[in-house]
Amino acid sequence: MDRTPENIVAEQTRLLFASALLPIVVSVLAAALLVVTLWTGIDHRLLLGWFLALALVSALRLRIVSQYSSQGRHDSGNQEYWHLRFLIGNYISALIWGSSSFIIFPEHSLSLQIVYFMVMVGMAAGGVSSLCPSFRAVAGFLTFILFPIILKLLLYMTLPALLKAFLVFLFWYVTVSGSKKINLNIRENIELRQQSINREKILKISEVRYRHIFSNAPLGILQYDSDGRILDCNEELIRILGSSRERLIGMNMLATLQNQDLLEALRKSISSGEGYFEGDYSSVTGNKTTPVRVFFKTIHHSEKAVSGGICIVEDFTEKKESEQLIKYHASYDTLTGLPNRRLFLDYLGGEISRAERHDYFGALLYLDIDNFKTINDSLGHSVGDEYLIMVASRLSEFIRKEDVAARMGGDEFTVVFTELGSSSQIAASKVRNIAEELNLCLSSPCKIGSRDLQSTVSIGISLFPKDNRGVDDILKQADTAMYRAKAAGRNEICFFLPSMQEAADEKLHISTELRQALKQDELYLCFQPQTDISGNLIGAEALLRWYHPEKGMIPPDVFIAIAEETGLMQDIGQWVLRAACLRIRDWKDKRLLKNDQTISVNISGIEIASPDFVSQVLRTLEKTGASPHNLGIELTEGSLISTGKDIVGKMMKVQELGVKFSVDDFGTGYSSLNYLRSLPLHTLKIDRSFVNDINSSKDNVVLVDTIIMMARNLGLDVIAEGVETEQELRYLNSKGCLVYQGFYFSKPVKEELFVQILERGRID
């Protein structure tokens, strides 16, 4: 059987109940009218009984109608039941009407029969219009009303009655078939309406679903038109950009985007369909920079025309953070935050190559905390951890920003110190000092929790670069040296090479002693006369001497270099300048020193590079009362070249006072003529090595000739240093060098002896 779909039944039921009220009421009124009309011709009891039956059924039907409107229409799963209840009420009502042809039919009055038929036909016809939505209802209603009449007429078995019966049947047939058609139309209508409701529902569901996806997507989504104007965006996009919907909607991205790469990706998507951007995006509308990935894709509304596009934005922050975290864990020690072994070895490799390239030395320190195991075992691992953190933080504070400290594991740490000096000796001596200080710093007491702890460290040192040795070798050497330090009784500093160890130890020793020598008056000045060819005194060079109480005379070549490395040079230079100026003043007062005689002091590059150089010279001259015209300053060619540009200004200021500058050891450096011309110089001192080789080397002869010629061209005086023989003297004299300093005339002499030379005014 073709079952009517539930939704159609429901609609039919709704229509039936909707138009039920009036027909029921009309039916009761029509029944009352019929009863009134037939009142004279029919038994009153029958009439009243019939009417009461109909009224009762009608009342029940009205009750069903009211129940439907309050519950039934919402009871979507039970519409067939309500339909059935309606049909039963309807059929019973029709049957009561039909039964009238046997109970109250006016058999003896033709006029009443006419009225009766009119009411019955009227009832039947009236039922059609209200019952058409359900064919079952209309067909049953007509059948139950009209068939009893047909039967009644057939029972008369008279021709007129048969004719009437046929007419009523015809009326039934026509009305039922008409109702069938109307019913089909109504059904189609219902179906069409249902379809459109369903379509709307589906559309609404898909719209809601789309909105739901759009709003709750874990990616930022943005829709824009073909001009790049934002049409819509979701919550995630607003969150990523740190902006608001009001600010974003309507914003023209082509006009406002600042990031050129992002703008390019958008333009590309509009012109060719797709665009991609990856990088940090600083929001134009919010103050937020977010690492993002952006995919642009255009939307076409016809085959060619672009209606705009969508853009998907992925927030990379978490990914980037986790990448960074992974990277951090791969390269850093989680406990102390210092670089780990891997990162450190990379760094060390780079530093070794850099040192090789730039010709300087660096050092690797391998540190191990003495007795760390005892701390760990006796106080627990958490105290041990705290101790390691403390060591790491002291290390980080101690080193310069260009150096790197790392934790190699356990209680072992490493540090790289770079650019320590251009010779391994200098580097060794410097790193020795640094290691001493570091040892002191790490060994000072500390508080962990409520405990006071103190432990020493053993330090192994290896210098680099070394005979093409790589990272592993240097690390192994420092490690070996560290074990040697442990074996030597802990709290020690050991170099990998014993020679380095000795040199560093010696230098450290000398620098400590030199500091004391300065305080304890172990330093004094000697003076080496400078004369003309006849031995007449032109001036003298003050030369520093250190007489060590145990080691005897220590040559300046040794201790000046150490003083320069250990930062003592400033103080020593000050001492020399002051001592020389005091002598100048004294000899001048005693009229031993003539106005044109010069006492020269040697000034190291470190001294002249100091910002206080000029003020110190001025102050010393002032305080000692020495005449600047009697003071000469010797600067080696090397220090002139390596000192910064402001040296010219400094020299000018000092020279303006009357102090004469000479270039010491001239010929050993590579100063250009132009540079020399820019300096306020008075004298060139030809280096001893050229003078001494005049006899043996032709090249040196040429060089000496050139220096003398150059000095003459620059308008400078020339002094030849280290003149030891008459032959050298004659040669120099023949070339135009008129002032000499050297053993030929006099060695550097003590003050008392020099005073005698001053008194005589010449060397005999």
Residue 528: CB minimum distance to Mg ion, A:
9
Q: Judged by CB, which is closer to Mg ion: 417, or 745?
A: 745
d(CA 367, CA 481): 10
Q: Are 35 and 47 in contact (CB under 8 A)?
A: yes
Residue with tokens 């200021």: 653
Of 470 and 669, CB closest to ligand C2E: 669
Alpha-carbon distance of 615 to 574, in angstroms, equals 12
Residue 637 has, within 13 A of its CA and on its CB side, a CA count of: 16
Part of the chain binding ligand C2E (CB under 6 A), chosen from 70-78, 368-376, 466-474, 742-750: 742-750
Contact positions with ligand C2E (CB under 6 A) in 625-654: 634
Shortest Å distance, C-beta 560 to ligand C2E: 5
**Rounded to an integer, what distance in angstroms lies between the CA atom of residue 63 and that of residue 653?**
124
77 binds, among Mg ion, ligand C2E, none (CB under 5 to 8 A by kind): none
CA-CA distance, 356 to 360, in Å (whole number)? 7
Q: Does 609 bind ligand C2E (CB under 6 A)?
A: no
Please tell me whether residue 753 binds ligand C2E under the rule CB under 6 A: no
Is there binding between residue 552 and ligand C2E (CB under 6 A)?
A: no
Binding of residue 513 to Mg ion (CB under 5 A): no
For ligand C2E, the binding residue among 630, 748, 755, 757 (CB under 6 A) is 748
**Is residue 528 part of the contact set for ligand C2E (CB under 6 A)?**
yes
* 665 is an interface residue for Mg ion by CB under 5 A: yes
Binding mask 720-739 for Mg ion (x = CB under 5 A): -x------------------
Number of residues located near Mg ion, criterion CB under 5 A: 5
Q: Find all residues with CB under 8 Å of 513, minimum gap 6, and list them.
A: 548
What angle is formed at CA 451 by the lines to CA 445 and CA 455, rounded to 5 degrees? 35
Closer by beta carbon to ligand C2E, 365 or else 544: 544
User: 460 is in the binding site of which of Mg ion, ligand C2E, none (Cβ under 5 to 8 A by kind)?
Assistant: none
- In 565-693, the DSSP E strands lie at 598-602, 631-636, 660-666, 683-686
Q: Rounded to the nearest whole angstrom, what is the least distance from the CB of residue 601 to ligand C2E in the complex?
A: 6
Query: Shortest Cβ distance from residue 591 to ligand C2E (Å)?
Result: 26
- In angstroms, give the least distance from the CB of 525 to ligand C2E: 7
Q: Shortest approach of Mg ion to residue 588 CB, angstroms?
A: 22
Cβ contacts of 509 within 8 Å, gap of 6 or more: none
The Cβ-side half-sphere exposure at 294, using a 13 Å CA radius, reads 27
Among ligand C2E, Mg ion, none, what binds residue 742 when CB lies within 5 to 8 Å by partner kind?
A: ligand C2E
Q: Report whether 599 contacts 569 (CB < 8 A).
A: no
Q: Which is nearer to ligand C2E, 76 or 642 (CB)?
A: 642
Instruction: For the chain, state the CA radius of gyration.
Output: 60
| Cα 257 from Cα 333, distance rounded (Å) | 41
One-letter amino acid of 118: M
619, amino acid identity: R
Closest CA to 156 of 105, 97, 96, 99: 105
Q: Least distance (Å) from ligand C2E to the CB of residue 680?
A: 20
665 binds ligand C2E, rule: CB under 6 A: yes
* Smallest gap from residue 754 Cβ to ligand C2E (A): 13
CA atoms within 13 A on the CB side of 181: 5
135: tokens are: 């064919």
Q: Which amino acid is at 398?
A: F
The correct pick among 565, 634, 637, 728 for binding Mg ion (CB under 5 A) is 634
What is the Cα–Cα distance from 524 to 147, expressed in whole angstroms? 154
Q: Which is nearer to ligand C2E, 149 or 576 (CB)?
A: 576
DSSP secondary-structure letter at 147?
Answer: H
Q: Does 602 bind Mg ion (CB under 5 A)?
A: yes
Q: Is residue 315 within the footprint of ligand C2E (CB under 6 A)? A: no
**Peptide bond between residue 465 and the one before it cis (omega within 30 degrees of 0):** yes
User: Of residues 94, 311, 538, 544, which one binds ligand C2E by CB under 6 A?
Assistant: 544
495 forms bridges with which residues in the sheet? 461
**Type of residue at 382:** S
Shortest Cβ distance from residue 575 to ligand C2E (Å)?
Answer: 9
388 or 663: whose CB is closer to Mg ion? Answer: 663
Should residue 556 be labelled a site residue for ligand C2E when binding is judged by CB under 6 A? yes
Q: Is 333 an interacting residue with respect to ligand C2E (CB under 6 A)?
A: no
We find the least distance from the C-beta atom of residue 703 to ligand C2E, in angstroms, to be 17
- Shorter beta-carbon distance to Mg ion: residue 607 or 721: 721
DSSP E strands, 182-246: 220-225, 230-233
- Residues 688, 708, 711, 729: which binds ligand C2E (CB under 6 A)? 688
Query: How many CB atoms are closer than 10 A to CB 196?
Result: 10
Rounded to whole angstroms, how far apart are CA atoms 133 and 19? 10
Among 84, 231, 306, 543, binds ligand C2E (CB under 6 A): 543
Least Cα distance to 726 among 698, 757, 694 occurs for: 694
Q: List the one residue from 225, 412, 724, 751 that touches ligand C2E (CB under 6 A).
A: 724
Q: Which does 640 bind (CB under 5 to 8 A by kind): Mg ion, ligand C2E, none?
A: none
Q: Is 664 in the site for Mg ion (CB under 5 A)?
A: yes
* Spatial contact of 340 and 333, defined as CB atoms under 8 Å apart: yes
The CA distance from 624 to 511, in Å, is 28
604 binds, among ligand C2E, Mg ion, none (CB under 5 to 8 A by kind): ligand C2E
Q: Which does 528 bind (CB under 5 to 8 A by kind): ligand C2E, Mg ion, none?
A: ligand C2E
- On whether the CB atoms of residues 343 and 337 are closer than 8 A, the answer is no
CA-wise closest residue to 720 among 739, 701, 700, 705:
739
Q: How far is the CB of 564 from ligand C2E (least distance, A)?
A: 8
Closest separation in Å from C-beta 339 to ligand C2E:
41
- Identify whether the C-beta of residue 300 lies closer than 8 Å to the C-beta of residue 309: no
Binding mask 257-296 for ligand C2E (x = CB under 6 A): ----------------------------------------
Q: Is 763 in the site for ligand C2E (CB under 6 A)?
A: no
Binding residues for ligand C2E, rule: CB under 6 A, are 528, 543-544, 555-557, 560, 576, 601-604, 634, 664-665, 688, 721-724, 741-743, 748
